[in-house]
Each structure stands twice: as C-alpha cells, then as structure tokens.
Structure 1
Amino acid sequence: MNLTRTRWRSAALAAAVAAIAAEADRAWARTLAEWDAAPGTPAEHDLAALVADAPDGFEWRVVDAALDLLTCPACAAPLGSGERGCGPCDLADGNRYAARETDRPGVPPGNEHAVRVAWSVARHPHRHPPRAVCGMELGLPEVYAGRLPTTAQAQAYRRLIDGLTDAEVERVSSLDDLLR
C-alpha cells in the first residue's frame, strides 16, 4: 500500500493507518491469488483496472489497493488521489465508496464505514478541507479500535474543531487534546 505521507498527527494515527494499510495489502494479495494474477505482472494491472471499474464487486480495502496500483491518466498520481478537480481522480475517489463494507467482528454497525472514510481522508488530506482532515485523523484511531462516537459526541467534536485556529487545527494530536 502506497503511504506517501511521512509525518502523522500522532503515533496512534500512524499505527491505525499502518494497520489498515497492512490489511489492504493482505486483501489485495488474497484477491490476486483468487484471480490467479501474479504481483507486478500485466495480469495484476488488468485486475486492478477491473476492480476500479466495478468497485461494488469488491471489499473496500481491495478497491483502495487496486486504485493505488493505477496511475491517473490526467495527473499521473495514483488513481483517486490527485488534486480535487482532476476528473479521473474525482471519479475514482467517488466510486471507491461503491465498494462493499463489511463490519469487522465485535464492532458496532457502521463502524467500518467510519474507518473507511477516515482512512481515505487521512491518506489524501489535500483532497479535503483542513478541519475535516483534523476530525477524521483524530477519530480514526478510535473508530479503528471499534469505538464509534454517538451523534452527540461527533457533533461536539465538530464544534470544538470549528472553534480552533488554523494553527491549532494542524497541532491538535488526539481527541483528548481537543477536549483539553
């Protein structure tokens, strides 16, 4: 999995991102085996293109791994990760949400969607407003651990983030830090 960022908001965020990236790598390896495609071959590229064209037939980690293997024809970034306004990247980024989301065992319903959205925002922060990035990055370690905030909690976090200065948005490193 291509993790282009080298600096993360916190160690907890870095750990969650690394764990999800490893899961995506394993999911892609299983998909390659199921489709009898070897890594680094034209068959792998063809499979990645098939997954990108029909994301609703695959789990989201497989779709994200496939997009990382494809190059955007317009901006040359991994498909779906280019700047907003790049047509092919915008389309691929939107289509990634057609992929299947199966909640992991022992997590509340909807947790997997929260993980998926926060993961995507954390990996591609340049595609989102800074306050949205802040919220998703602060929440990812929690939702990945299986804790899903209530609507009231999420709204309270949002109000707090909206009240931060631009510098504080960049500096805050955890939900506890935000609450302080």
Structure 2
Amino acid sequence: MSLHNKGTIPALSAWMAAALLAVTPAHGFDLQSGEPITINADSGRMDDTRGIATYSGDVVVTQGTTRLSADRVMLYRDEGELSRIEASGRPARYQQPTEAGKGETDAQALSITYASRDGLLILEQEAVIKQDGNLFRGDIIHYDTAQRVVTAEGTTREDNSKGRIEIIIQPRPQN
C-alpha cells in the first residue's frame, strides 16, 4: 500500500499532530490560578524594583501538581504578573499531569523558558518531551500553547547541516 493513496497522508499527518500535541503541557505556572507558587532552593535573590527573582542550587518550583526543577531558575514579573520563567540545568525538568489526569507530561532540556503572556514553552539543547510512551526529541522544541502548535529543530552540526528530530508515537488502544 502506498502512502500516497488519497487520504492517507492527511490522515497520518492529523494523527501524528494529535499525538504530538498530546505530549505537551497545556499550561504553566500562573499567579492568577489561586494556588501559591512554592520555591525551594539553596539560595535566592529578589530584585523587586526590576521584577526579577533568581534562585540557584537544586531549585524546585511547584504550583499544585506542576513542578519545575533546575540548577538555576529566574522568574520575571511585569505589572504584578509572572511574565516569564527561565530554567537551566543538567537537565532542567518540567513535569505536569495531563489534562485528562491519566498520565504526566515530562519535558526536559538544558534550558527551559516559559513565556506566560505568549503561552510559549521553549526547550533548548537536548530537548525531550515524553508522555504515555510518546516522545518528541530535538535540539530545540517550541510549543505555542494558545495555538497548539509544536515545532522542533535538530542540532546544527559542525558542517552547518541540520541534525534530525525524533518522534515516537504509540499506537492508540483498541476498543
């Protein structure tokens, strides 16, 4: 059977897109959620004038069941709202239960940035997102939570060619 049969490519593309969107977190930390954000770290510095807080050393940020762990985390506040979170580590890790509550999204990279106003989650360097056996791996992964669009890039090699991304999609359970 050829993949070029009418309807096969669009159906496969739609199925892959749905599976990839399922492995990404739907939202991140939110000061308006009603739940407190708790931060544990070896050290911290808050510059209230600039709206920047920096935490270092085994940093763990939690809000409800959402968890971010990293070597260093910077929180940026603008007009009383959390506007951006930058985390770095070996690796930095973002974990959140799925919306259905039947699993967990586990995202990790050397650098994780969450821009709450734009709803953009950016994983850079050795980026991996896993959920329920599905996997999305690349050097850079961008997830627009508002538009539900995922883009990924492979690493740039020494000869300036692009590396590849890896996607593993588990089969849907049979009814």
Both structures adopt the same fold (TM-score exceeding 0.5): no
Greater relative CO (CA pairs within 8 A, separation 6+):
1
Bigger share in strand: 2
* TM-score normalised to structure 1 length: 0.31
Bigger share in helix: 1
Bigger radius of gyration: 2
* TM-score normalised to structure 2 length: 0.31
